[in-house]
Structures are given as structure tokens and as C-alpha cells.
Amino acid sequence: MAELAYWEALRRAHDEELANDPMVIAMGEDIGVAGGTYKVTLGLYDKYGEERIVDTPISENSYTGIGIGASMAGMRPIIEIMSINFALLALDTLINAAAKIRYMSGGRAQCPIVMRTPGGTAHQLAAQHSARLARLFMGTPGLRVVTPSTPLDAYGMLKSAVRCNDPVIFIEHESMYNLKGEVPDEEVFRPLEGAEVIREGTDITLIGYNYSVHWCLSAADKLAQEGISAEVIDLRSLKPIDRETIRRSIEKTHRVLVAEEDEAPVGVGSEVITGIIEDCFFALDAQPVRVHAADVPVPYNYNLEKSAIPDAKDVYQGALKVLGKV
């Protein structure tokens, strides 16, 4: 069992999948000679060559479209987009083509692509480099949306995503690339569907995905010091959402908080809480709370940025509110 950083786990998944199947290629800006903005493809250009580790011009919509076209002809492209903000340029080809080609061909064509991209705020990157946008892809039939929060999931879910025959939006986070965790030495696949209870508890359920999982975990630590037992769920997949795991947890804890880095209107939390109301309303002993970003473009100023984006402290405070302690 090795301790790997999130970026190293992704790099290992690339390496293994490229070695496993000659139809796998990686495409993106600066991923080849330069080794990738977040080092995810470091060294792979030397190992696999320019035809499999493809440095693209800055043309997100069309190089994503090229990946989609190639996937229709039997390739398995992993398309890296440097920031989810730039993925907006590729929305036409992702939402109008990749997501719909299987359906509008009556199941006769398919697009097995993975679009990897970090969505999130890091350090003062300001409005055009700090978007989250998970909610945008969640609302599109025909896509899978996954949000690995650990090196193990980053590794195992990327390997599964490459082998999946549906288009997968694989959302990472700028602030997670250096996060470390254990990954087994042997080959592991982690399924693209299914939420996971990552900490058992009895008093309240804290639900997160991607980076917000880590806020939930530290909030749970703090709550534990006060004798409150919090259960933490990592959603892992935003499309589809595993409502069954959420229901089971709430029937045990009867209280719930959802933590997201997306903005609240039409956010991930809106969808999760709607599901909770539909599935287990009568199991609730308190009003659900969502912790979310402010409805503003992310500001540059450090203090303003900090106030726009929630953190572990907000999750802790929110939990106290659910528990009726504030």
C-alpha cells in the first residue's frame, strides 16, 4: 500500500490505462511536453509519444469535439481541460453531442470519453478561474458526473471512467491535487456509481462531494469533541446520485446537512435535499441545512474570496443549527 498524492494517483491511472489499451489517448493543453498544469501526465509523453499524449492548441470546444469524434470510431480519449471555466467553451460539444449521440442514434453510436477538469476555488484565482459548475453537468441527460475526493477514488474511478462506454465528466479540484492517501499497489477499480459512508455516526448526516467532503470530515472531528456523532457521506457521483445510501443514513440519524462548493440556486444541495424530501421526509427530526457558496462571481480579494466560499467551520456551524444548538 503506497501513499500517493491525488495527482500521482491520477497519473498512475493514466499510465495503467494507456498501457492496457492502445485505443486510450490523452488530449489537452500542455499535457505532453510540459507534463500537465497539475503534473497529472508528467513523463507520459516520453513513454507513450505524441500520438497518444496529444498536446492541443487552446481550442477547447474543437479539441473536445475531436476527442468525441475519435471515441465514436473506437478510441478512448481522456480529455483534460485545465479549468472547468474553460469547459464552458466545450459545452456545445459535450452537452449537444457527447451526451446525446447514443440517444439520437437510437443506441447505435456511443462516445466513451472522459473529460477531466478541476472545478473549484484555490487561492485568489478570481472569477474566471474559480467556477465549480458541477450542477451544470448534473442537469444533462446522457452524461455521468463523478467527483472523486481521495487519491484512491481518483485512481480507481479514472480507470473505471476510461473503460465506461458513456461520456464521463470527471471533476477534480485545484486544492486537492496534493492531498495524500493510501492506494493499494495492485490494480483497483472503483465504480462510478454509489455514494459511500466514510464515517459512521448516529446524530447527524453530513453529505459532501469532491472537496467539501473534507470540510465534512473536519467538522465531524470537531463535533466529536463535543460528544456529537456525525455520519459523513461522500456522494462520489453526482449523476446519478445514490439516494438509497442517503436514505439509510437519515433513517438512522434523522438529521442532515449538505455541503457544497457550488452556488445555492440550482445547486447540488437543492437536488440532494429534494431527494431527501421525496424519500424520507418523515424520518427527519429537523429542517435540513445546506452549506453553499455565495451567489456571486468569486472575488479576487483574499477576505472576500474566503467569505464567498464555505469551509469546515461553516459545516460545523450548520450542523449545530440542524441540531438545534444555536
**Contact between residue 263 and residue 291 where contact means Cβ atoms under 8 Å apart:** no
For the chain, the straight-line distance linking the first and the last C-alpha, in angstroms and rounded, comes to 43
Residue (145 or 280) nearer to another protein, CB:
145
Residue 147 is a binding residue for another protein (CB under 8 A): no
How big is the chain by its Cα radius of gyration, in Å? 20
Interface with another protein (CB under 8 A), residue from 236, 248, 255, 290: 236
Of the residues 129, 173, 254, 292, which is catalytic?
129
Of the residues 8, 17, 29, 60, which is catalytic?
60
Residue (11 or 144) nearer to another protein, CB:
144
Question: Max alpha carbon distance in the chain (Å)?
Answer: 59
Interacting stretch for another protein, rule CB under 8 A, among 28-36, 39-47, 193-201, 304-312? 193-201
Interacting stretch for another protein, rule CB under 8 A, among 32-40, 186-194, 202-210, 298-306? 186-194
Whether 254 is a known active-site residue: answer no
Q: For residues 286 and 56, give the distance between their C-alpha atoms in angstroms, rounded to a whole number.
A: 51
Whether 129 is a known active-site residue: answer yes
Interacting stretch for another protein, rule CB under 8 A, among 41-49, 160-168, 251-259, 309-317? 160-168
**Contact between residue 194 and residue 158 where contact means Cβ atoms under 8 Å apart:** no
Q: For residues 230 and 200, give the distance between their C-alpha atoms in angstroms, rounded to a whole number.
A: 7
DSSP letters along 191-212, please? -SS--EEEE--SSEEEEE-TTH
Q: Which amino acid is at 116?
A: R
Residue 109 is a binding residue for another protein (CB under 8 A): yes
Interface with another protein (CB under 8 A), residue from 15, 30, 242, 279: 242
Interface with another protein (CB under 8 A), residue from 13, 25, 206, 273: 25
Residue (204 or 323) nearer to another protein, CB:
204
**Contact between residue 235 and residue 147 where contact means Cβ atoms under 8 Å apart:** yes
Q: For residues 151 and 182, give the distance between their C-alpha atoms in angstroms, rounded to a whole number.
A: 7
Residue (70 or 84) nearer to another protein, CB:
70
Residue 165 is a binding residue for another protein (CB under 8 A): yes
Residue 265 is a binding residue for another protein (CB under 8 A): no
Residue 63 is a binding residue for another protein (CB under 8 A): yes
For residues 97, 142, 237, 269, the Cα torsion angle rounded to the nearest 10 degrees is 90
Grid cell digits, residue 104: 439520437
Residue 166 is a binding residue for another protein (CB under 8 A): yes
Residue 163 is a binding residue for another protein (CB under 8 A): yes
Give the number of other Cβ atoms within 10 Å of residue 55's Cβ. Answer: 17
3-class secondary-structure state, position 124:
coil
- Work out whether the CA dihedral 208, 211, 214, 216 comes out positive or negative: negative
Grid cell digits, residue 130: 474559480
Interface with another protein (CB under 8 A), residue from 171, 195, 204, 268: 195
Residue 141 is a binding residue for another protein (CB under 8 A): yes
Binding site for another protein (CB under 8 A): 23, 25, 51, 56-57, 59, 61-75, 92-93, 96-97, 101-110, 141-142, 144, 148-150, 152-153, 160-161, 163-166, 181-182, 189-199, 213, 217, 234, 236-237, 242
Catalytic positions are 60, 129
